[in-house]
Amino acid sequence: MATVLLCATTAAALAGAASPLASLQNLLLLAAAAAALTPGGAALSAVLLAAGSADWWPGAVLLAVPVSMLAAQRAQQPGSRPSRARTPQQAPLKQLAAYWVLLATTLAALLQLARLLPPPAGAQLSALLGLGGWQPFVPPLQQSSGSSDPLAWAFPQFRPFFQYVLAVLPAATMLPLALRFPGRPDLLLAAGALLRCILHPQPRLAMAALWAALLPLGRQHLGGGTVVAWFGLGLGAALLLTSDVMQLWLGSGGGNANFVYGMNLLWGGLQVLLLLRLLRGAARAEAQPSGGSKGEATAAGRQRQAAATDAAVEASGQKAD
């Protein structure tokens, strides 16, 4: 995990040339995941995650779910402080609840701080964290179509519907995955990064650097290298051809918007197929008798052996009676 986070940090820093804001967000999100793996770093992780998700606060759930699970797992490890008056089942739930409360409080504080600061300072904070990128409560646009508004293309009468869909989709996709894979926060972290790039109202190229660097967390579920290579070729072709078809459409007038739409459809569709392949591979691995890890198989074997020993002792006691 530490090696993957280091590689992801390097990739996010290199992607800063395309979008400095997205690169800063990637670094904040990776720092949040790294802080969740350190003892007592849950509070810092929640603050960093809120700062990295401030441009689209409904989408914070995509990475907050796996990162909070990582923090809860780290708190249960032997090196962490023992919790007093807590059962083993209650401790992770309290850790998760505390993480989510702190995350929501930090998000609300950042949004309120941008409103309370003087206009120049508030504008700088909004530009630094991208607070203006998600505006769920602004009135419908009539004539202005500012580039900072992700719903500038929507008709006023349909605007509330799209706001509701964009706000609900992250939770509707990530929460069922967390219930399906409760013991795999590393897998959910890679899936959440992919979903963030797919569902974001204003996706940027630098966001792809985040999921591409975190994808090794689920590499055993993606199949052979040939499959990954084909996905990489398709995604690369979509990126390279997008600029060409834009020039063909807007520069020489030899094409139309359907070419750009096709490249965007290819880019998004391949990401969805990659996500499905990752999740299906993980589900198949869990369904197989030997699909778990060696540690899980050893623990399961010990439990079965202990149960068999208890049954044998109980049977011998009944015979003696």
Q: Find the length of the chain.
A: 321
Same domain for 173 and 231, yes or no, is no
**Shared domain check, 248 and 208:** no
Rounded Cα–Cα distance for residues 253 and 315 (Å): 86
Of the three residues 221, 239, 261, the one that is the final residue of a domain is 221
Residues 180 and 202 in one domain: yes
Question: Based on the domain organization, do 130 and 259 belong to the same domain?
Answer: no
Same domain, 192 and 51: yes
Residue 37 falls within a domain, yes or no? yes
Which residues lie closer than 8 Å to 231 by C-beta, 6 or more apart?
270, 273, 274
Asked if 39 and 15 sit in the same domain, the reply is: yes
Residue 187 to residue 191: CA distance in whole angstroms: 6
- Does residue 230 share a domain with residue 216? no
**Is the residue at 182 inside a domain?**
yes
User: pLDDT value at position 316?
Assistant: 63
Could you tell me if 212 and 98 lie in one domain?
yes
Q: What's the number of CA atoms in the CB half-sphere (13 Å) around residue 151?
A: 25
Residues 234 and 189 in one domain: no
Model pTM above 0.95: no
- Domain extent, residue 293, equals 224-311
Rounded to an integer, what distance in angstroms lies between the CA atom of residue 52 and that of residue 29? 6
Q: Print pLDDT tens along the chain (321 aa).
A: 555 555 555 555 555 555 677 778 888 888 888 888 888 888 899 999 988 888 888 888 999 999 999 888 887 766 555 445 445 555 678 888 889 999 989 888 887 887 788 877 777 777 667 665 555 544 443 444 444 566 666 677 787 888 788 889 999 999 999 999 988 998 999 999 999 989 887 777 778 888 888 888 888 888 777 777 888 888 888 878 877 777 777 777 666 778 778 888 888 899 999 999 999 999 988 887 654 444 444 445 555 566 666 666 566 665 555
CB atoms within 10 A of CB 288: 9
**Residue 157 in domain:** no
Where do we find the tokens 């059962």? Answer: 87
Do 100 and 240 sit in the same domain of this protein?
Answer: no
Residue 161 lies in a domain: no
In a domain, 145, yes or no: no
- Distance of alpha carbon 179 from alpha carbon 195, whole angstroms: 17
Specify the long-range contacts of residues 3-6, CB closer than 8 Å, at least 24 apart. 4/213, 4/214, 4/216, 4/217, 5/30, 5/33, 5/34
3-state secondary structure at position 135: coil
Domain boundary among 193, 221, 249: 221
Domain termination residue (choose one: 195, 221, 247): 221
Fill in the amino acid letter for 44: L
Same domain? For 210 and 276 the reply is no
Q: Domain count for the chain, please give it.
A: 2
Question: Are 126 and 10 contained in the same domain?
Answer: yes
